[in-house]
Amino acid sequence: GAVVSQHPSWVICKSGTSVKIECRSLDFQATTMFWYRQFPKQSLMLMATSNEGSKATYEQGVEKDKFLINHASLTLSTLTVTSAHPEDSSFYICSARDTLGTSGRADTGELFFGEGSRLTVL
């Protein structure tokens, strides 16, 4: 299947600092990428939908000024957690669909997930 790469896998930072997480589609172009947060023993929670060349769409309750999303190209979306605090510690996962079929496969609606980034804020 199509490949999505996420970096970094693990990050530990001090409270008040900012952390950037990258999500790349390696073998297809993605006009839309999704950012999720997952707390221990809970399901995925959609934070925002990242749209290439336009503003991200945030879910209710997600602060857009705190979680900055940039989707500058068809293969890269970034999530920046600004002024991180311990309560932001979580597993952040991105995903994308190959809606353009650029991987050579028809779009079945399947989401391709990055490996996830575990953020720990001290």
Partner 1 sequence: GQNIDQPTEMTATEGAIVQINCTYQTSGFNGLFWYQQHAGEAPTFLSYNVLDGLEEKGRFSSFLSRSKGYSYLLLKELQMKDSASYLCAAMDSNYQLIWGAGTKLIIKP
Q: Is residue 88 helix, strand or coil? A: helix
Q: Should residue 46 be labelled a site residue for partner 1 when binding is judged by CB under 8 A?
A: yes
> Which residue(s) pair with 57 in the sheet?
49
Judged by beta carbon, residue 66 or residue 118, the one nearer partner 1 is 118
Please, what is the minimum distance in Å from the beta carbon of residue 48 to partner 1?
12
Find the shortest distance in angstroms from Cβ 29 to partner 1. 17
**Is residue 105 classed as helix, strand or coil in its secondary structure?**
coil
Closest approach of partner 1 to the CB of residue 10, in Å = 10
In the complex, the smallest distance separating the C-beta of residue 80 from partner 1, rounded to whole angstroms, is 20
Cα gap 94→65, rounded to integer Å? 19
For 23-86, the DSSP string reads: EEESSS--SEEEEEEE-TTS--EEEEEEETTS--EEPTT--TTTEEEEEEETTEEEEEE-S--G
Is 44 a binder of partner 1 (CB under 8 A)? yes
Q: Considering only residues 81-100, where is the footprint of partner 1 by CB under 8 A?
A: 91, 93
Residues forming contacts to partner 1 in the complex (CB under 8 A) are 1, 6, 42-46, 91, 93, 108-116, 118
